[in-house]
Amino acid sequence: MSVRPGSVHSLMGENGAGKSTMMKCLFGIYRQDSGRYFLEGEEFNFIDPKHALEHGVSMVHQELNQVTQRSISDNIWLGRYPKRGPFVDEKAMYRASRELFKRLGISLDPRLKLNTLSVSQRQMVEIAKAVSYEARIIVLDEPTSSLTDNEVRMLFDIISVLRGQGVGIIYISHKMDEIFEVSDEVTVLRDGQYIGTETIENLSMEKIVNMMVGRDLGHRFPPRTNVPGEMHMKVSNVATRYPPFIQDVNFELRRGEILGIAGLVGAGRTELIESLFGARTLESGEIYVDGRKIDNNTEQKSIGNHFALLTEERRSTGLYPVADITFNSTIANVKSYRGAIGLLDDRAMMRDTETQIANMRIKTPDCREQIRNLSGGNQQKVIIGRWLLTDPDILLLDEPTRGIDVGAKFEIYQLIINLARDGKSVIMVSSEMPELIGITNRIMVMSNGRMAGIVETEKTDQTEIFNLAMKYLINSAEAKI
């Protein structure tokens, strides 16, 4: 593929197609076995990311890799601190960060620690860091996966500025609307092979999907074949003790139902399902399952009560990156593999992992592969398979298709519907409104830590959901869409 100065060249393909691997070779993380890279006519092979950055190639990775205990400024200028004599010039670093943020339209105090920011804010910091290197080529790997609509617009404005400065941008995304909005050209990979490059004017969504998956995908969402039954779980007056707060949340979940949770950023969606799973301390509230009051005040008790939680940020809270797929698949259910004298049955663990690899269609050489070597979508499949091995009755899914391509999304949608059809109850948080409308039975809308209402999916639309999401905001300036 060729990237022209001042253009956006999108790179597309299913999970495991080789997009991130190809870019990691470019950026010096991996070494290719064959093939060559050229930058402005000169051949290069970067030995490591520092070498790439120093020569005008920058990359924003799909999974954030930041020093969360340090400030925003420290993260941006790490390895190249401005100095006054032998000491770091904190004032100069602060001024440089402020100037960079002003140029990009980012409203954050560079002195804040990263662990106080939301995922979307941390993503913007990483993008600002890439821009700060004055790179000639910038790779953006799923840059909008954690961004609000307003922040996406801000990113597109930044891309427009960089394009005007002659920067070549390689843009990796699974979001079709973004591809058609920002791209000049699109290259598609499939199973590690080059399929083709087209200008955006010559492409349609159907053609891109066909190039990616090698077949017509048909409908975007599978038919909802699950039929909700009797009440399965009742949540009464739930409120958290520590910020970010949720308060007075009441709802019922039916057996075999898929209940979506919608809301703006900061509305309390993630906080709610983490509270149900015992990952947050409750100030008040009760949870009933099949009419019996349960105590989910720890994650271990929640697992014992047949709950499962798929977290939003899989890298920091869902994976053991240096462990293999077998460990990551069986860790939540490890007690069941203990033998008579307390030793783990390695064969049983591998057997169950191989079964999940086959059932979830996970692309991996074998079950002993380190999970960090898999694509984001295949990592997500491993985590879902992990929870299925615990035989849960209630699944709490936080952004389950984040960073996953259209083909893999369809598979996960079908899996969720199949689980509900088999009598499991599912609560699913998603920032993609078409996704919620496409596969859920009802949608609960959160607003500023409170439940704003529950709507029947087949009788609602995006306008009604947005209006409910605004219900408890003091003024519209607080809304981050």
The 3 state secondary structure assigned to 30-74 is CCCCCCCEEECCEEECCCCHHHHHHCCEEEECCCCCCCCCCEHHH
Phi, psi of 233 (to 5 degrees): -135, 140
Mean residue pLDDT across the chain:
89
Q: How far apart are CA 33 and CA 31, in angstroms?
A: 7
- Percentage of the chain with pLDDT > 90? 60
Which residue would you say has higher pLDDT here, 473 or 126?
Answer: 126
Please compute the mean of the pLDDT values over residues 390-405 and round it to a whole number.
89
How sure is the predictor about 177, in pLDDT bands with cuts at 50, 70 and 90? confident
Which residue would you say has higher pLDDT here, 290 or 214?
Answer: 290
How sure is the predictor about 218, in pLDDT bands with cuts at 50, 70 and 90? low
pLDDT at 325 over 90: yes
How sure is the predictor about 402, in pLDDT bands with cuts at 50, 70 and 90? confident
- Contact by Cβ (8 Å): 56, 137: yes
pLDDT number for residue 103? 83
- Contact by Cβ (8 Å): 135, 57: yes
Lowest mean pLDDT among 40-44, 325-329, 422-426: 40-44
- Contact by Cβ (8 Å): 268, 450: yes
Q: How far apart are CA 394 and CA 448, in angstroms?
A: 25
Structure tokens, 133: 């290197």
Chain mean position to CA 477: 26
Please compute the mean of the pLDDT values over residues 369-374 and round it to a whole number.
92
Which residue would you say has higher pLDDT here, 214 or 433?
Answer: 433
Q: How far apart are CA 418 and CA 411, in angstroms?
A: 10
User: Given the structure tokens 């490059």, which residue do they identify?
Assistant: 197
Phi, psi of 425 (to 5 degrees): -110, 135
Structure tokens, 172: 């990796």
User: Given the structure tokens 């999940």, which residue do they identify?
Assistant: 356
pLDDT number for residue 479? 42
Please compute the mean of the pLDDT values over residues 428-439 and round it to a whole number.
90
pLDDT number for residue 45? 87
**Cis before 321 (ω within 30):** no
Q: How far apart are CA 426 and CA 254, in angstroms?
A: 9
pLDDT at 52 over 70: yes
pLDDT number for residue 341? 85
Residue 257 burial class via C-beta count within 10 angstroms: exposed 0-12, middle 13-18, buried 19 and up: buried
Q: How far apart are CA 218 and CA 61, in angstroms?
A: 31
Structure tokens, 131: 């821009």
Residue 390 burial class via C-beta count within 10 angstroms: exposed 0-12, middle 13-18, buried 19 and up: middle
How sure is the predictor about 324, in pLDDT bands with cuts at 50, 70 and 90? very high
Chain mean position to CA 341: 40
* Angle formed by the axes of helices 119-132 and 90-104, nearest 10°: 100
- CA distance to 98, 105, 128, per residue, from 102 (Å): 6, 5, 11
Please compute the mean of the pLDDT values over residues 350-369 and round it to a whole number.
92
Query: pLDDT tens-digit profile of 250-281?
Result: 999 999 999 999 998 788 999 999 999 999 99
pLDDT at 477 over 60: no
- What contacts 64, CB < 8 A, 6 or more positions away? 119, 122, 123, 126, 315, 316
- CA distance to 44, 48, 60, 470, per residue, from 57 (Å): 11, 11, 11, 41
Strands 282-289 and 231-240: antiparallel
Q: Report the predicted TM-score, pTM, of the whole model to 2 decimal places.
A: 0.66
Chain mean position to CA 372: 15
Residue 79 burial class via C-beta count within 10 angstroms: exposed 0-12, middle 13-18, buried 19 and up: exposed
pLDDT at 453 over 90: yes
pLDDT number for residue 432? 83
pLDDT number for residue 363? 87
pLDDT at 371 over 70: yes
Smallest CA-to-CA distance from 169 within 23, 28, 4, 29 is with 4
pLDDT at 478 over 60: no
pLDDT at 216 over 60: no
Structure tokens, 108: 């954050």
Strands 425-429 and 442-447: unpaired
pLDDT at 317 over 50: yes
Query: pLDDT tens-digit profile of 72-88?
Result: 999 999 989 999 999 99
- Contact by Cβ (8 Å): 467, 455: no
Q: How far apart are CA 73 and CA 83, in angstroms?
A: 14
- For residue 229, give the 3-state DSSP assignment: coil
- Contact by Cβ (8 Å): 110, 71: yes
DSSP label at residue 6: T
pLDDT number for residue 215? 58
- What contacts 162, CB < 8 A, 6 or more positions away? 131, 138, 169
How sure is the predictor about 316, in pLDDT bands with cuts at 50, 70 and 90? confident
pLDDT at 149 over 80: no
Please compute the mean of the pLDDT values over residues 41-67 and round it to a whole number.
88
Torsion of CA 74, 75, 78, 84, to 10 degrees: -20
Query: pLDDT tens-digit profile of 25-45?
Result: 999 999 889 999 999 899 988
Which residue would you say has higher pLDDT here, 361 or 111?
Answer: 111
Chain mean position to CA 346: 31
